[in-house]
Structure 1
Amino acid sequence: MKKSLLSLSIGGFGIGMTEFVMMGILPDLSRTMDISIPVAGHLISAYALGVVLGAPLLVGIAGKYPPKKILMGLMLLFTLFNGISALAPTYELLFIARLFSGLPHGAFFGVGAVVASRLAEPGREARAISIMFAGLTLANIIGVPLGTWIGHNLDWRYTFVIIAGVGMLAVWSVKMWMPVIPAPENSSLKSNLQVFTRSEPWLIVGITAIGTGGLFAWFSYISKLMTEVAGFSENSISFILVLAGAGMAVGNVIGGKMADRFSAINATALLLLVMVASLLTVSAISQYKAAAIIMTFVTGAVAFAMVAPVQMLMIKAATGAEMLAASVSQASFNIGNAIGAFLGGLPIAAGLGYTSPQWVGAALALGGFLFCIPMFVLHKKQKDSNQVAVS
């Protein structure tokens, strides 16, 4: 593995840990802050909102600088606000810190995805992007379970101290290992925004924001699903999160290969339909421990296999404005995070139990698939017009 891609993976590890560990420590945070689980779940939405706001804003501001400097600056912001999260004395301040710690997330992955594709060999761009996201999946295997264990047995604040340390390591690795890549030409915010005058990027935003909501409707409340429905102890949650992370890691590799071998839109559409089936299965069998464990791995794999294909889809659709578009794609993932966490919490608050978010998730994944249909039509028209031009 190239060290330059490894530096992106380290940043991905820190970002993945801070994003997903909240699901594991939600009961601990709820208890120490004396708030309900649905209210604690708003901290997940706060982070996601930060990503949505920060992705286009920070890339738009910093787009004229070389990618290496942008990546270092983003990870410094990440480190600062995760450090503040560790010290926050009140729920309100923690909410604000989570909002601001989300600002660099989408911009880092957006810029990093473009950098990874430029550093990759021809025909292996999606796999290079998946290496960056491998850090995020590794966070779910190591970082999130470790942070969850610390939250259960010590103090969830120590978890954010560790995350801030990973952020500093990412800053160092980008400085030492990332080559200098010139800033893109014509990188003004106004010129980059012109890509969104076309329908295709907006369809990809819809696919991502709605479709990935299915993942977060399930994963946001996985701790309670596995303890209240499947009957596992709280001490088992770290192992369960390792299993989910392992599934995500496997899915990430599969998704990268699918996007390089087949068209990104075909891979995305198929994976969304499989996600619908997976989430409905989770809802039906979660009272059985063995089945719940198997589906935790499978659902994690299916959901995360979609990441590289969607990112590649957006990069190809936004020639000349790749960094901004890729960051918007990441913002869309976190719109899905906010939608999934919020909508998934509504049936819980209504007393429908912890299997109900999976039905919400399945509906969101199906909604994401419906956005794929006009994408197929657009791609067919483009293919037909290219054939006419050649003939």
Structure 2
Amino acid sequence: MIELALAMGAFGIGAGEFAIMGLMPNVAHDLGISEPQVGHLISAYALGVVVGAPVLAVLGARLLRKHLLVLLMGFFAAGNFASAMAPGYGSLILFRFIAGLPHGAYFGVAMLAAATMAPPNQRAKAVSRVMMGLTIALLIGNPLATWLGQLIDWRHAFTAVGIIAVLTMALVARFMPLDRQEERSDPRREIRAFNRPQVWLALGIGSIGFAGMFCVFSYLAPTLLEVTDADPGWIPVALIAFGFGGIVGNLAGGWLFDRFQFRAVALILIWSTVVLLAFPLAAQSLWSMLLAAFFVGTMIALAPALQIHLMDVAMGAQTLAAASNHAAFNLSNALGPWLGGLAVSAGRRRTIRLRLGLANPKYA
């Protein structure tokens, strides 16, 4: 039941982080902005994670894990309720940044708690079970939020996420045992122990390795509409396909690391490269696009593998390292939409120039 409570928080965070990706056309139309500007909202949340993960992990190091998890979920709920009521684009960027602040610290503490309670040879599987909440959010929460936003209003998606966060607070408070003998971290020791090459290597892999996945996922809805030429009703279906891929990838990542240890990371990166190279070709047809969305989702296998590796190499700084993994994860979430937005804007400028006869098709 403890893992279920922790996974509920992961579900809420996943729904809150990814909901706006499926609602990109709706948010752009409602606020009178471009889709690349909506991509900046995604990046603002991701930057909140990057800033908040190490800062809140260090500030909360002396708190008991149960108390810290409840506080972090309360912070997350407030950020999403504020996002639902944002009066304009500027305030929404600010509230998305605030909502992202507790994200990494929650995942770091939750993963560490799950790994601590599991047998040594099943730690990666325990982490992947908590991460399952995130992948179920991709499978169910994100498509439902997209459908709700299309049917009523995109703001209701953030209200629903806030309610899930409050429910998580209640579940953690009810079912997670309070161990007053729990070893508490020393913030100064965590910072000193964190400065190891193996830690920074793993964080570097995460911050770059996920960027392609987030770039594709962030612009999945516009790609379906403008490249695949699909009906908007197919957007939730594509998100469900991505979610199924996320579940498979999450389970595979835990299994691969328990079996191959750090070598699993190389295998996952090779697979990710193949998937991303094939995606542009698959986007031309609806059915191949849905299959490609599934395969892009499997790239999330990198998350549990890196999470356990960081816990192993960051002795004395496990809380900070576990939280920083999600900072790296969301640095990719900031880079992906931003770089994707540059590519989309450049492509549209090129198309306009060609239509106006202002450029040579070979060099435009």
Q: Could you say which residue in structure 2 is the equivalent of 1:227?
A: 225
Q: Secondary structure at the residue paired with 1:123?
A: helix
2:310 is aligned with 1:328: no
Q: CA deviation at 1:236?
A: 1.2
Q: Could you say which residue in structure 2 is the equivalent of 1:120?
A: 118
TM-score if structure 1 supplies the norm length?
A: 0.87
- 1:134, 1:176 → 2: CA distance? 21
TM-score if structure 2 supplies the norm length?
A: 0.94
Match among 239, 242, 252 for residue 241 of structure 1: 239
Q: Could you say which residue in structure 2 is the equivalent of 1:272?
A: 269
Q: CA deviation at 1:183?
A: 7.1
Match among 299, 305, 314 for residue 301 of structure 2: 305
Count matched residues: 349
Within a 5 Å distance, the mapping from 1:1-391 to structure 2 comes to 3-182=1-180, 185=183, 187-263=185-261, 265-301=262-298, 303-351=299-347
**Deviation per residue, 1:157-201 (Å, 9 max, x gap):** 111111011001100010011122457646222110112322111
CA contact (8 A) 2:238 2:290 kept: yes
- 1:102, 1:292 → 2: CA distance? 30
- 1:196, 1:184 → 2: CA distance? 21
Q: CA deviation at 1:291?
A: 1.2
- 1:352, 1:312 → 2: CA distance? 42
- 1:182, 1:269 → 2: CA distance? 40
- 1:182, 1:204 → 2: CA distance? 32
Write the letter of the residue equivalent to 1:328. Answer: S
Write the letter of the residue equivalent to 2:311. Answer: I
- With over 3 angstroms needed to count, the CA separation of the structure-2 counterparts of 1:188 and 1:317, relative to structure 1, is same
Structure 1 vs Structure 2 CA RMSD: 1.3
- 1:59, 1:36 → 2: CA distance? 35
Q: CA deviation at 1:220?
A: 0.7
CA contact (8 A) 1:55 1:104 kept: yes
- With over 3 angstroms needed to count, the CA separation of the structure-2 counterparts of 1:186 and 1:289, relative to structure 1, is closer
Structure 1 outlier segments of 4+, above 4 Å: 182-186
Q: Secondary structure at the residue paired with 1:307?
A: helix
- With over 3 angstroms needed to count, the CA separation of the structure-2 counterparts of 1:183 and 1:101, relative to structure 1, is farther
CA contact (8 A) 2:107 2:326 kept: yes
Q: Secondary structure at the residue paired with 2:233?
A: helix
CA contact (8 A) 1:137 1:245 kept: yes
Moved more, 27-36 or 148-157: 148-157
CA contact (8 A) 1:240 1:293 kept: yes
**Deviation per residue, 1:262-308 (Å, 9 max, x gap):** 11x2111111111111011011221022211111111211x111111
Write the letter of the residue equivalent to 1:168. Answer: V
CA contact (8 A) 1:64 1:184 kept: no
Q: CA deviation at 1:121?
A: 2.0
- 2:178, 2:313 → 1: CA distance? 25
Percent pairwise identity: 39
- 1:203, 1:119 → 2: CA distance? 27
- 1:273, 1:184 → 2: CA distance? 40
- 1:60, 1:183 → 2: CA distance? 20
- 2:105, 2:179 → 1: CA distance? 17
Write the letter of the residue equivalent to 1:178. Answer: M
Q: Secondary structure at the residue paired with 1:108?
A: helix
Q: Could you say which residue in structure 2 is the equivalent of 1:382?
A: none
- With over 3 angstroms needed to count, the CA separation of the structure-2 counterparts of 1:220 and 1:183, relative to structure 1, is farther
**Deviation per residue, 1:350-388 (Å, 9 max, x gap):** 0169xxxxxxxxxxxxxxxxxxxxxxxxxxxxxxxxxxx
Q: Secondary structure at the residue paired with 1:350?
A: helix
- 2:195, 2:294 → 1: CA distance? 39
CA contact (8 A) 1:75 1:104 kept: yes
CA contact (8 A) 2:194 2:317 kept: no
**Deviation per residue, 1:93-141 (Å, 9 max, x gap):** 1111100000110000001111010111220000000011100111111
CA contact (8 A) 2:64 2:184 kept: no
**Deviation per residue, 1:333-353 (Å, 9 max, x gap):** 000100111111111110169
Write the letter of the residue equivalent to 2:312. Answer: K
- 2:141, 2:309 → 1: CA distance? 29
- With over 3 angstroms needed to count, the CA separation of the structure-2 counterparts of 1:274 and 1:68, relative to structure 1, is same
Moved more, 340-349 or 9-18: 340-349
Q: Secondary structure at the residue paired with 1:314?
A: helix
CA contact (8 A) 2:43 2:338 kept: yes
CA contact (8 A) 1:67 1:183 kept: no
* Gapped regions of structure 1 (runs ≥ 5): 354-391
- With over 3 angstroms needed to count, the CA separation of the structure-2 counterparts of 1:243 and 1:186, relative to structure 1, is closer
Write the letter of the residue equivalent to 1:25. Answer: L
